Structure 1
Amino acid sequence: MELTDTHIHLDGEEFAADLHEVVERARAAGVNRVFIPAIDLNSAANILSLCRHYPGYAYPMIGLHPEEVRDDYREVLAEMRKLFTPEVIAVGEVGLDFYWSREFEKQQIEAFEQQVQWSVETRLPLMIHSRKAQQELVAVLRRYEKDLPGGVFHCFTGNEKEAAQLLSFNRFVLGIGGVLTFKNSHLSEVLAASVPLDRIVLETDAPYMAPVPMRGKRNESAFLQYVVNKLAEAYDVSPEDVARQTNLNVQRIFKL
């Protein structure tokens, strides 16, 4: 069984002491590819370097995370755009996040729209972060809907109505991770009722949001198996079926 972790912050300081061991555990658990998103200019450079150490295994995504957007976002984006080498597989992690504050709402929206334009220009998919901002985010995407190559709505945890709105973008899928396994989560019921398995990709968002029974620990790609097992239960299919279909979905979106 081969799995793809479409979203892991493997460049984070949380993995600095045992990065090689983390990768080896992931490989042993069947995770044969990991996609690593940038969040700012510094992380973008670090991610490119890290991925070159793991060719054919770790793949870089370049973008400015909405929580990192400030008044200087134009200058930051200009420097980021220079980093788009052929090895970059997506524009991300980008989006809107108004969970803590709307202080930089205008700047976030403008930065997101510029990076959506990058996706159209480069034909690279988007890796999208959205928190307390779905309506504003959808409004931006609608303006480019016909021209977008596709992408992932990362860390989906919403209801059936929210899923339907996002999946109305036909070339996009939902990123599903550890929240699926949480005791009080209704995500498995939402997915089974309203989201076809061919519209899902797997992710950890490690080191964050470790799945049950690893909750409270540092998350890592090796734990993806718990998400697979929960999805298999929700869709009444085998874990192998989940792995096969989600990898087909990854291939369709990322063209790897």
Structure 2
Amino acid sequence: MTMLIDSHCHLDFPDLQNESEEVVSRARAAGIGRIITISTRIRQFDRIRALIERFDDVYGSVGTHCLHAHEEDDIPLETILELAEHPKVVAIGEAGLDYHYDYAPRDIQERGFRKHIAAARQTGLPLVVHARQADQDIGDILEEEMGKGAFAAVLHCYSSGADLARRGLALGFYVSFSGILTFKTAEEIRDIARFVPHDRLLVETDAPYLAPTPFRGKRNEPAYVVNTARVLAETLGVGESEIATRTTENAFRLFSKMPRPDDLKAAA
């Protein structure tokens, strides 16, 4: 069985946290070799820490989701940098802009976004970018910040337009596809997947949300990334094993702090 990596989920959310042992076990049985559980509130980072220290194959990030930017606007950059020193923290975020819900004032979302970009730049860890109905501003900020110094990033759970994808790719970023890719109405997203270079593709669940077909409408979990990878393979006209190999290699390259299985064996 070829390994897959769920590059973005939320194991600390109540829907999954209460049965994390079973969820991780099912993911392993499905061939998921690594799970990255993504932070949405820095003040709740203890929940991420508990998971990444409990499970050998689970890694994490540190950051404040833009929907909660107003709740954690007072947290300094130094706190992010300090928490990112944990050996199993492999990314910064997720952070970005969300104009759909607009829970946080847009100026505070932007300030938080730029703070997380600074953290990615200083730590060398990739930024996990959330973008919803804010394509133009997201692209403008990413391009402006890249001019201040390079950083790595992934446009996660891609559901934006083709223009933002092209702008992100031009900056060297990765694009991650979730269960949305499998929805019948998502032909535009599949069209975008077709022009993403194969060495920049990732797959994710964003669990517990956005379960892929045939689980749509149910709670999502990391094991279901197999279904998204299968549709990605069909979309690109390649074999499932090729997509698994490619996206796994891409994930280890982007999240370079996350050890490969061979590295762990060598260190044992």
TM-score (norm 1): 0.93
Cα shift at 1:127: 0.6
- Tell me, in whole angstroms, the C-alpha distance in 2 between the residues paired with 1:122 and 1:101: 29
Residues 243/136 of structure 1: CA separation in 2 closer, same or farther (3 Å cut): same
Name structure 1 gaps, 5 residues minimum: none
Match of 1:198 in 2: 199
Residues 72/23 of structure 1: CA separation in 2 closer, same or farther (3 Å cut): closer
After TM superposition, the structure 1 stretch with the greater mean CA deviation from structure 2, 222-231 or 138-147, is 138-147
Cα shift at 1:132: 1.3
- Determine if contact 2:12/2:51 at 8 Å carries over to the other structure: yes
- Tell me, in whole angstroms, the C-alpha distance in 1 between the residues paired with 2:121 and 2:80: 16
Cα shift at 1:189: 2.6
Cα shift at 1:77: 5.3
- Determine if contact 2:99/2:134 at 8 Å carries over to the other structure: yes
- Tell me, in whole angstroms, the C-alpha distance in 2 between the residues paired with 1:49 and 1:110: 29
Cα shift at 1:143: 2.4
Residues 165/17 of structure 1: CA separation in 2 closer, same or farther (3 Å cut): same
Cα deviation code 1:43-99 (max 9, x no counterpart): 3121011100012x1111001110001165023655444322242111111111111
- Determine if contact 1:91/1:124 at 8 Å carries over to the other structure: yes
- Tell me, in whole angstroms, the C-alpha distance in 2 between the residues paired with 1:21 and 1:101: 35
Quick one: which amino acid aligns to residue 153 of structure 1? L
Q: 2:23 aligns to what SS in structure 1?
A: helix
Match of 1:168 in 2: 170
Cα deviation code 1:203-226 (max 9, x no counterpart): 000000000000111101111111
Match of 1:74 in 2: 74
- Determine if contact 1:38/1:44 at 8 Å carries over to the other structure: yes
Residues 89/9 of structure 1: CA separation in 2 closer, same or farther (3 Å cut): same
Q: Does 1:62 align with 2:62?
A: yes
- Determine if contact 1:11/1:43 at 8 Å carries over to the other structure: no
Matches within 5 A, 1:150-165: 150-165=152-167
- Determine if contact 1:154/1:176 at 8 Å carries over to the other structure: yes
Quick one: which amino acid aligns to residue 154 of structure 2? V
What is the alpha-carbon root mean square deviation over aligned residues? 1.7
- Tell me, in whole angstroms, the C-alpha distance in 1 between the residues paired with 2:120 and 2:80: 13
Quick one: which amino acid aligns to residue 83 of structure 1? L
- Determine if contact 2:66/2:104 at 8 Å carries over to the other structure: no
Cα shift at 1:202: 0.8
- Tell me, in whole angstroms, the C-alpha distance in 2 between the residues paired with 1:97 and 1:205: 16
Cα shift at 1:251: 1.8
Match of 2:262 in 1: none
Residues 80/214 of structure 1: CA separation in 2 closer, same or farther (3 Å cut): same
Residues 152/72 of structure 1: CA separation in 2 closer, same or farther (3 Å cut): closer
After TM superposition, the structure 1 stretch with the greater mean CA deviation from structure 2, 140-149 or 28-37, is 140-149
After TM superposition, the structure 1 stretch with the greater mean CA deviation from structure 2, 107-116 or 63-72, is 63-72
- Tell me, in whole angstroms, the C-alpha distance in 1 between the residues paired with 2:191 and 2:98: 25
Match of 2:244 in 1: 243
- Tell me, in whole angstroms, the C-alpha distance in 2 between the residues paired with 1:118 and 1:29: 34
TM-score (norm 2): 0.89
Match of 2:54 in 1: 53
